[in-house]
Amino acid sequence: MRVLVVEDEEVMADALARGLRRAGYATDVAGDGAVALELASVNRYDVVLLDRDLPVVHGDDVCRTLVAQGVPARILMLTAAGGLGDKVDGFGLGADDYLAKPFAFAELLARVHALARRTAPAQPPVLRCADLVVDTARRTATRAGRPLDLTLKEHGVLVELLRAQGAVVSAEDLLERVWDEHADPFTPAVRVTMVGLRRKLGDPPLVETLRGAGYRVAT
């Protein structure tokens, strides 16, 4: 899953991005509203963390624009103003959730995960394929009851494949959804991650490679 952090305070933006990446989210950062709109126009995000008081383009206008354009990402507005009136205004702009600063990162993470699950099309928190069970909320995976020790990238790739429900997912799509804007489009990261994932999943093989097209889970 991919998140866009829109925050002009560099220290705060970096802290949020680090925490989200540690939690397994591919995370991009925008320091003003104009950059946020540009990134949202070329990337598909599950959640946008949107500070309200932004330079260049105000956070309210960013929210209005994203909603008007039909961007599927869920919007979590962050602001130092936490009064009831401010929350009502935020929801009136089309935001999906509202969190006042200061906040505990654990609460923000819980809200991000809840919003990501609501991104259309809605996905169940527990994904299954044959004897494989992946709990996206707890970030755990088992096969035939055996726990799988997956890296964050391996987990992310597996979740994207399971959500595709047997459809082919290209390496480019996996790079976009599991990594972030800084990923080198020519990197072998997807292929290397897939090797490790297949080894940990064991036999019989669950992931198929379609040469020149991508990967899919056997259904």
Q: Are 50 and 15 found together in one domain?
A: yes
Among 85, 118, 151, the domain boundary falls at: 118
In terms of domains, do 63 and 133 share one? no
Domain check: are 110 and 146 in the same one? no
Last residue of a domain, one of 118, 134, 169: 118
- CB atoms under 10 Å from CB of 198, counted, come to 16
| Percentage of the chain lying above the pLDDT 70 cut | 90
Residue 81 pLDDT > 70, yes or no?
no
Same-domain check for residues 7 and 112: yes
Distances (CA, A) of 86 to 7, 55, 93, 125, 146: 18, 19, 11, 31, 48
Residue 175 burial (CB count, 10 A): 19
Last residue of a domain, one of 75, 97, 118: 118
Q: Across the chain, which distance is largest between two alpha carbons, in Å?
A: 57
Residues 22 and 74 in one domain: yes
Give the domain CATH number at 32. Answer: 3.40.50.2300
Residues 50 and 135 in one domain: no
Average the pLDDT over 32-39 and give the result. 96
Give the pLDDT confidence score for residue 177 in this predicted structure.
84
List, for residues 104-146, the tens digit of each pLDDT value.
999 999 999 888 877 656 567 789 999 999 998 788 999 999 9
User: What's the pLDDT tens digit per position in 170-209?
Assistant: 988 898 888 877 777 677 889 999 999 999 999 999 999 9
| Predicted pLDDT at 205 | 92
Q: Mean of the pLDDT values across residues 11-30?
A: 92
Domain of 196 in residue numbering reads as: 126-217
Q: What is the pTM of this model?
A: 0.69
Please give the tally of structural domains in the chain: 2
Task: Mark whether 86 and 133 lie in a shared domain.
Answer: no
Q: What is the structure's pLDDT at 214?
A: 92
Do 174 and 106 belong to one domain? no
Average pLDDT, the chain: 88
Q: What pLDDT score was predicted for residue 120?
A: 53
Q: Name the residue with higher pLDDT: 95 or 30.
A: 30
